[in-house]
Amino acid sequence: MGAPSASGAVHRPVPAAQEPIIVNDYTFSAGFSSVQGDSQWSYQQWNGSTYSDMTWDASRDGWRGNCTFCIITRDWVHPDSNDSVIVWQAPRSGRIAVRGVMDHGVDTRDSDGVRTFIRMSSAGRLSKIWPSADAQVIRPGFTTQHVLTTNVAAGDRLYFHVNQGANSGYDTLSWDPRISYDFEPKFTLDQAEVVMAPADYQRVGITVAQDASLSVVPNGTNLDFYHSSGDVIQKFRGTLQQPAQTPVYNGNRYTNPRGLAGKWWIANTYETPEGHILAFCHIEDADVAATGWWVLGLAYSTDGGNSFQKLGYTIGHEVKDTGHNVNIGGVPYVVRDGYFYAYFDEGAEHVARAPVAEVLAAAKRGEVSPWRKYHNGAWNEPGMHGRAAPVLPFSPNHFYMTHGDAAYSTYLGKYLLSSYNHGAGKGVYLATSDDAVSYDVPSWIQTGRWEREETLSPYETIVNVDGTDNGVVGQSFYVYYSYRSRTIGLPEAEGPENSRWLYRQKVTLDSAGFDGSTFDASTGFTNKQGENGWRYAEYTSSGGYTDLRWDAARYRWNGSATFLMATSYTQHPGDGGRDSVRTWTAPRDGTVRVDAAMGGIRLGPGGNGVGVRIARGGTPLWPTAGYQALAPDTVHAFQPVDVTVAKGDVLAFHVNSNGDTGFDTVIWAPTITYQAG
C-alpha cells in the first residue's frame, strides 16, 4: 500500500501517556536520574569481583559508592579503590553503536590519570568489548573517544568502568556514553595509545614541540620516520608501535643548488618506484617579494633520505602576503588518475594538482613542474597565486586545518583527509570524498566533550596497518597525532614536555555507515552542524534561518530565545515567533519517505499547543499551508510522506510556539529513508 501524499497526513489526537515510545538513542547525561534503572541507566561500583549499587547523595546531586571519592554525577565520574561504573541495560534486542568522549580534567602532576574499559553481560557471561588492549589509559589532561558496534539481547548490560590506576588523586573524568540502535557509524575506533613520550622526542632530537606530521617510509623490516622544523630534519627508525627506537640523524640535510630562500619543513613524502623520496614541503620566510612569506614546495632525495635537494615552489597564496599573517599550510596528498592532489589551507581548505609523471620527471632534473588549483569546477588557476575553491564544507565554528595527511581507501573506494580543528571543539577529524575535490562534513576521531578545549592535536599521519604509507590504505589504518594538553597552572619550563606526546588510534571503516539509506534524527544527532546530514537552526519569517549554538553542559543546541532548543529527539520553540528547526540535507538524488520515530509527534500536557510543519526551500510539504496544530497531551500519528529530492535539497522540520512558549517541548524524531529504485 503506497504512502499518502503530504496533504493526506492524518492527525489522530491520542493522550500522549497511552502511546508506547520506542527510543533508539540513549545518552547518559540526558537520562541521568536519582532513580536506579530510570531511562535504562544505573550507577554501580566494582570491587574487583562483584558489582553493587551506589546510593543517591542529594547534597552532591550524584551517586556515591562505598569509597570516599567513588562518585558518579551527570557531568563527571570519579573512581577510588573501587571502580565507578555507569551501567546501561538493553530494553530490546538489536544492533547498537556505542559512542562516547572521555575527557580528563585539568592537567596536573598530582594525577596519574585513569583507566577505562567497557564490558558487556549477556546470557550470564561477562566479557570486555572495548578496547582491544587491557584498558584505555587516559593521562592527565588527555581526551579521547570510543566508537564500537555490537549486538544485544533484551536485558543485556553494558558496564562503563572508570578505574583509578595507581591512585585516585585528581581522577575526575567527563564521560557521556551514548547507545544508539540501528545506527551504523562511518568508522569504529580502538583505544588511543602513546607511541612517543617526551623522552622519545628528546632522544631523536625533537627538543621542543612536534612541528610537522611524521612521514613514514618502509625500510626493510623497519620504518624510517621523518620530522622537520625550519631546515632541521630528524630521521629515526622504528616500528608502528615504537617509532623512535633508533636515531639516524638530526640536522640540516638539505642541498640547495638553486639558492631557494626560506626555511623548509617536510610535511609529507611519496616513495617513487625506484625508491627515491619526493617531499612535500611547507616553507616560511620564502622569497617575500616574489612569493610572499609562506609558500609550498618540493624537495627530492635519491639516497634513501640521507639528504634532500630543494627543488622549488609550487603553491602560493592567491594574494601574496608579504608579512606572516596568513599561513599556507599542508601538505596531505593523494594520487588520482595519474595526478598528485595536494591539499593546503589559507583561510579555507583547498586543493591543487599536477601530473605525477611530470612532477617526478622534473624532480629528477632538479626542478618543479606547474601545478593548477581547483576553482569553479575546473583546474585552470595557477598553483602560484591562483584562486581556489574550498574542498570542505564551510563552518563558522570549525576551521579545519590541512596540516595532516590524506589517503585513498581501497576498501571504501573513497579518499580520506585527516587533520585537526583549530576552532571551537578542537580535535582530530576524518573526512571522505568520492572525487578528491569535494569532502563531506568531517567526523571526529579525537575530540573533547567541551566546545572550548584548551588542548590541541596537530599534525596527523595516516599509515596502513601493515606500515605502508604511500597514500593508500585498506579498511583499517592508524591515525597518528601529536597532543598538546592543557597547561593551566604548569610552569612555563614544562611547556616542551607537555607538547611532546604522540598518540595513534586504529580506525576501521564501516561501509554500512556510508551506504545506509535511513537517517534517524535521534541517532544522527551530534554537536557538529551538518554531521550525518542534520543541522539545527531557529527561524522567523522576517529573519530566515540562523544556526543554533551548541551547549555542551546540557548536550543540546540553543537559540537566541531562553527556551529555544533542540536535542536528539525534542524541540522547543522560542518567543517572538521563533521556530525551533531541525534540517536534513539530501546526500543524493532519489525518493525518500519521511516518517516519525517513537510513535509520532508528541506534546505533553499544559500550555496552548504548538504548530509543526515540514518545508523544503521555504515551500510547505506538510501540511500544504501553515502549520499542523498539535494540542497538549496528544500524539500526532504521523503518516509517512514520500518526497522526491535532489542532492543538496534541504528538508526543514519546524516547531512553532502558537503564541505562547509554555510547556512546548515536542518529542519529534524524524526518520528519512531512501526508497528502492
Q: How many CB atoms sit inside 10 A of residue 356's CB? A: 17
- Quote the CA–CA distance of 401 and 349 in Å, as a whole number: 7
pLDDT reported for residue 470: 86
What integer best gives the mean pLDDT of the chain?
91
Residue 155: pLDDT over 80: yes
Q: Enumerate residues 6+ apart whose C-beta is below 8 A from 600.
A: 19, 635, 636, 637, 638
Q: Which of 545, 278, 530, 282 is closest to 394 using CA atoms?
A: 530
Residue 521: pLDDT over 60: yes
Q: Are 297 and 311 in contact (CB under 8 A)?
A: yes
Q: Which of 124, 122, 123, 57 is closest to 84 using CA atoms?
A: 57
CA distances from 373 to 77, 205, 354, 378, 569 (A): 49, 36, 9, 8, 43
Q: Are 375 and 388 in contact (CB under 8 A)?
A: yes
Could you say which DSSP state residue 539 is in?
A: E
Position of cell 613524502?
A: 269
Residue 336: pLDDT over 90: yes
Q: What is the mean pLDDT of residues 376-402?
A: 89
- Residue 24 cell numbers, joined: 533508539
Q: Are 632 and 607 in contact (CB under 8 A)?
A: yes
**In sequence order, what DSSP letters do the residues of 500-533 get, joined into one string?**
--EEEEEEEE-THHHH--EEETTTT--SSTTGGG
Q: What is the mean pLDDT of residues 498-509?
A: 92
Domains of the chain: 6-17+522-674 (2.60.120), 25-183 (2.60.120), 253-391 (no CATH)
pLDDT band at 209 (very low <50, low <70, confident <90, very high): confident
Radius of gyration of the chain (CA): 27
Determine which of 14-23, 98-107, 589-598 has the lowest per-residue pLDDT on average: 14-23
Burial 161-177 (b: 16+ CB within 10 A, else e): bbbbbeebebbbbbbbb
Residue 11: pLDDT over 50: no
Residue 357: pLDDT over 50: yes
Q: Enumerate residues 6+ apart whose C-beta is below 8 A from 576.
A: 540, 561
- Quote the CA–CA distance of 567 and 31 in Å, as a whole number: 12
Residue 111 zone, left/alpha/beta (φ > 0; ψ -120 to 50; rest)? beta
pLDDT band at 484 (very low <50, low <70, confident <90, very high): confident
pLDDT band at 7 (very low <50, low <70, confident <90, very high): very low
Position of cell 583527509?
A: 417
Helices and strands counted in the chain (H then E):
6, 56
User: Do the bridges between strand 254-255 and strand 308-315 make them parallel or antiparallel, or are there none, so unpaired?
Assistant: parallel
Count Cα atoms within 13 angstroms, Cβ side, for 237.
12
Position of cell 566494582?
A: 46
Q: Which of 193, 98, 184, 192 is closest to 147 using CA atoms?
A: 98
Q: Are 584 and 521 in contact (CB under 8 A)?
A: yes
pLDDT tens track for 398-436: 678 899 999 999 999 999 999 998 776 789 999 999 999
pLDDT reported for residue 81: 96
Position of cell 594538482?
A: 353
CA distances from 85 to 36, 40, 48, 73, 177 (A): 13, 14, 12, 11, 11
Higher-scoring residue by pLDDT: 220, 423: 220
**In sequence order, what DSSP letters do the residues of 651-674 get, joined into one string?**
EEEEEE-TT--TT--EEEEEEEEE
Burial 335-355 (b: 16+ CB within 10 A, else e): bbeebbbbbbbbeebbbbbbe
CA distances from 129 to 21, 87, 191 (A): 29, 14, 12
pLDDT reported for residue 422: 77
pLDDT band at 10 (very low <50, low <70, confident <90, very high): very low
Residue 8: pLDDT over 60: no
pLDDT tens track for 285-332: 998 888 889 999 999 999 999 999 999 999 998 888 777 777 888 899
Omega of the bond leading into 331 within 30 degrees of 0 (cis): yes
- Quote the CA–CA distance of 392 and 441 in Å, as a whole number: 7
